[in-house]
Amino acid sequence: MNLNWTMVGQSLTFIVFVWACWKWIWPLLINAMRERQEAIAEGLAAAERAAKDLELAQERATDQLKEAREEAAGLIDQARSRANQMIEDAKNDARQEGERLKEAARAEIEQEVNRAKETLRAQVAVLAVAGAEQVLGESVDASRHSQLLDKLAAEL
């Protein structure tokens, strides 16, 4: 075993290479590896999150669809009852209008009857006086007997 200056030379070489690896090789590689690990971990977490989000979104969509369907059903019901209501209302209105028209017609008829009665009554007096004149043979003073005649007419 020839131990000599080779030991010193190799020691220095050893120190230089270890130092170079420490400063110029190891940090760069280990950082790149850690960064990638983090990126992969983040990617996986994001994928998981996205899957969960999707699930939630699907749930929400289902809920909304159900809600919308219910709302639509409600609206249709409402519209239907409203339509029924409107038909009922219209029927009622029509009935009332009919009643009213009937009433009006009846009133008018009554009026006409009354007017005819009035006219008749007026003519009755004249006819009665004329009849009486024929019977009595003399003129009857209308003004003197008007009270009697009116009474007679009113009795009609």
Partner 1 sequence: MASAAENPAEYIQHHLTNLTFGQHPDGTWGLAHSAEEAAAMGFNAIHVDSMVWSIFTGLVFFFVFRTAAKNATAGVPGPLQNFVELIVDFIDDTTRTIFNYSNSLIAPMALTIFVWVWLMNFMDLIPVDWVPTLASAMGIHYMKIVPSTDPNITMSMALSIFVLIIYFSIKEKGLGGFLGELAFHPFPKFLAPINLFLEGVTLIAKPLSLGLRLFGNMYAGEMIFVLIALMFTGGLIWGVIGGVLQWGWAMFHVLIISLQAFIFAVLTVVYMAQAHEVDEEH
* Residue 13 binding partner 1, by CB under 8 A: yes
* Residue 134 binding partner 1, by CB under 8 A: no
DSSP secondary-structure letter at 138?
Answer: S
- Helix, strand, coil abundance in the chain, percent, nearest 5: 95, 0, 5
Taking the complex as a whole, the smallest distance from the CB of residue 21 to partner 1 amounts, in Å, to 4
8 A C-beta contact, residue 130 and residue 154: no
* Residue 11 binding partner 1, by CB under 8 A: yes
Site for partner 1 in 14-53 (CB under 8 A): 14-15, 17-18, 20-22, 24-26, 28-33, 35-36, 39
The tokens describing 13, both together, are 């070489």
How many whole angstroms separate alpha carbon 18 and alpha carbon 11?
10
* Residue 9 binding partner 1, by CB under 8 A: yes
* Residue 6 binding partner 1, by CB under 8 A: yes
In single-letter form, the type of residue at position 8 comes to: V
Taking the complex as a whole, the smallest distance from the CB of residue 43 to partner 1 amounts, in Å, to 12
Count of residues interacting with partner 1 (CB under 8 A):
31
8 A C-beta contact, residue 117 and residue 149: no
Is residue 141 classed as helix, strand or coil in its secondary structure?
coil
Report in angstroms the alpha-carbon separations of 99 from 37, 46, 93. 90, 76, 10
Taking the complex as a whole, the smallest distance from the CB of residue 64 to partner 1 amounts, in Å, to 40
* Residue 89 binding partner 1, by CB under 8 A: no
Residues forming the site for partner 1 (CB under 8 A): 1-11, 13-15, 17-18, 20-22, 24-26, 28-33, 35-36, 39
